[in-house]
Amino acid sequence: MEGAGDGAGAGGGRRLVCVTGGSGFIGSWLVRLLLDQGYTVHATVKNLQDEGETEHLRALQDSAGARLRLFQMNLLDPASSMRLAIEGAHGVFHLASPLALRTRDPEKELLEPAVKGTLSILRAAKDCGVARVVLMSSKSAMVPNPSWPADEAIAEDDCWADVELLEKRQLWYNVSKTLAEKSAWEFAEKEGLQLVVLNPGTTLGPFFTPSVNTSLNILLQLLRGQELELDAVYTGWVDVRDVARSAMVLYENPSAQGRHLCLASMERLVDFTAKLADLYPEFPVHRIKEDKQGWLMRAKDPSKKLIDLGVRFIPFDQTVRETVDCFRNKGLI
Ligand SMILES: NC(=O)c1ccc[n+]([C@@H]2O[C@H](COP(=O)([O-])OP(=O)(O)OC[C@H]3O[C@@H](n4cnc5c(N)ncnc54)[C@H](OP(=O)(O)O)[C@@H]3O)[C@@H](O)[C@H]2O)c1
């Protein structure tokens, strides 16, 4: 591990990186990991005045000191204003994006910030001479696609979600992630920017954000006995610490190219609820009886490219147990 000061002096050098959405569930783990590994981090949050977005990052500042700086950034800001956070950074991890399964105005609440925001970040990164950008996309940008054979493993670089189908089903978050990733690839190709993409599935795990994000809320609702319509959304889970580690691995390995599915296992919602009900008989978990995900291939170790890069995934029992412990400690269940 490199020391705190290594390459992080004037201008930051290779060890200065920017994490957009550093306040979020995944972002806060990534910021923590990068600091632990000796990086200097510029983390962006939407509103610096909102303690709910910043208190956990300020706690990290207590030990990291000047190696963690917070910047206010809204995805709808012009690219020029994003430069403050990105200037001097060798790499950018772009995570900021609204994550919601239901919205009143999808164009304004999801599509615009995801697509325009991504392009503005990439523009700022290009203008600032950033060497490598890691984009946090989603497996939602890969599936569902009915024309992909159900019995064929996902080809990570070639499998794209069917936007027309997503729009028809009003899966606006999935649309936002797919269009944002497509726009990012177009920009990178045209402008000659080094881009690599991570595509995680439903992300669970312990959290130190003040609030519960959308993916953690799925688990929380299941534990509370709610029946969820997630047949087009759920394809498998991954531990947040593995997502953060994978993002760092992609940044640190210039040989890593293209898109990277990040899932501990590819599975159906029936599998997930059954495992959860078995593990926690004390909670009223609703076992799904009718499997509506015939289009989805079950696969153990589906994240071939990350595994080849040395990533190993935390097992289900540990991830779920530690998430449930967090819910309990916070009095949520
Ligand atoms: N969680 C999952 O299951 C999952 C799976 C695959 C991919 N992802 C992707 O991973 C990334 C992080 O998600 P997460 O799970 O950490 O969700 P999260 O906790 O909701 O974090 C979202 C982050 O985006 C920021 N953000 C949202 N709208 C913004 C805006 N208009 N301007 C500036 N910042 C904005 C939020 O900032 P504030 O907190 O400051 O408002 C927050 O830091 C997203 O790109 C998401 O699509 C998540």
Domains of the chain: 13-203+239-264+299-313 (3.40.50.720)
Report the C-alpha gap between 28 and 43 in whole angstroms. Answer: 9
Sole residue written with tokens 């147990």:
321
How many angstroms is it from 40 CA to the middle of ligand 1? 21
137 in Cβ contact with 159 (< 8 Å): no
Residue 149 has a pLDDT of: 77
Report the C-alpha gap between 105 and 297 in whole angstroms. Answer: 33
- Name all residues whose Cβ lies below 6 A of ligand 1: 21, 23-27, 45-46, 53, 73-75, 95-99, 113, 136, 138, 177, 200, 202-203, 213, 215
How many angstroms is it from 158 CA to the middle of ligand 1? 25
Atom of ligand 1 nearest to the CA of 139: 6
For the stretch 229-287, pLDDT in tens is 888 889 899 999 999 999 999 999 999 999 999 999 999 999 999 999 999 999 999 99
User: For the residues 103-124, what does the mean pLDDT come to?
Assistant: 96
Atom of ligand 1 nearest to the CA of 240: 1
User: For the residues 56-69, what does the mean pLDDT come to?
Assistant: 95
Report the C-alpha gap between 327 and 317 in whole angstroms. Answer: 15
Structure tokens at 4: 């705190």
Alpha helical stretches, state H, 224-299: 240-252, 269-279
For the stretch 308-319, pLDDT in tens is 999 999 999 999
Atom of ligand 1 nearest to the CA of 209: 19
Tell whether the model's pLDDT for residue 30 goes beyond 70: yes
Residue 146 has a pLDDT of: 79
- Assign 40 to helix, strand or coil: strand
How many angstroms is it from 26 CA to the middle of ligand 1? 8
> Which residues touch 166 (CB under 8 Å, ≥6 apart)?
144, 172, 174, 175, 178
134 in Cβ contact with 93 (< 8 Å): yes
> Is residue 116 annotated as a catalytic residue, yes or no?
no
> Which residues touch 103 (CB under 8 Å, ≥6 apart)?
109, 110, 172
Percent of the chain with pLDDT over 90: 83
Query: Which pLDDT band, with edges at 50, 70 and 90, does 289 fall under?
Result: confident
What 8-state DSSP symbol labels residue 133?
Answer: E
> Looking at 126, 177, 292, 305, which residue is catalytic?
177
Tell whether the model's pLDDT for residue 330 goes beyond 70: yes
Tell whether the model's pLDDT for residue 11 goes beyond 80: no
Looking at ligand 1, which residue's alpha carbon is closest to its atom 31? 75
For the stretch 133-182, pLDDT in tens is 999 999 999 998 878 877 788 889 999 999 999 999 999 999 999 999 99
279 in Cβ contact with 317 (< 8 Å): yes
Residue 13 has a pLDDT of: 61
Looking at ligand 1, which residue's alpha carbon is closest to its atom 41? 46
324 in Cβ contact with 223 (< 8 Å): yes
Which candidate, 240, 235, 262, 239, places its Cα nearest to that of 250? 262
User: For the residues 312-331, what does the mean pLDDT come to?
Assistant: 97
Report the C-alpha gap between 71 and 80 in whole angstroms. Answer: 14
Atom of ligand 1 nearest to the CA of 238: 3
Mutate to test the pocket of ligand 1, among 95, 103, 119 (most ligand atoms within 8 A of CB): 95
Cross-strand pairs, 93: 19, 134
HSE-up (13 A, CA, CB side) for residue 197? 25
Looking at ligand 1, which residue's alpha carbon is closest to its atom 7? 138
Report the C-alpha gap between 297 and 34 in whole angstroms. Answer: 34
HSE-up (13 A, CA, CB side) for residue 298? 9
Looking at ligand 1, which residue's alpha carbon is closest to its atom 21? 24
Atom of ligand 1 nearest to the CA of 202: 3
Q: How many angstroms separate the Cα of 110 from the Cα of each of 45, 117, 178? A: 17, 10, 12
Mutate to test the pocket of ligand 1, among 57, 97, 243, 263 (most ligand atoms within 8 A of CB): 97
Mutate to test the pocket of ligand 1, among 18, 23, 26, 197 (most ligand atoms within 8 A of CB): 26
Which candidate, 42, 98, 101, 107, places its Cα nearest to that of 74? 98
Residue 5 has a pLDDT of: 33
How many angstroms is it from 281 CA to the middle of ligand 1? 32
Residue 3 has a pLDDT of: 32
User: For the residues 81-92, what does the mean pLDDT come to?
Assistant: 97
Q: φ, ψ for residue 193 (rounded to 5)? A: -100, 140
17 in Cβ contact with 91 (< 8 Å): yes
For the stretch 171-227, pLDDT in tens is 999 999 999 999 999 999 999 999 999 999 999 999 999 999 999 999 999 999 999
Tell whether the model's pLDDT for residue 295 goes beyond 90: no
Sole residue written with tokens 């890593």:
256
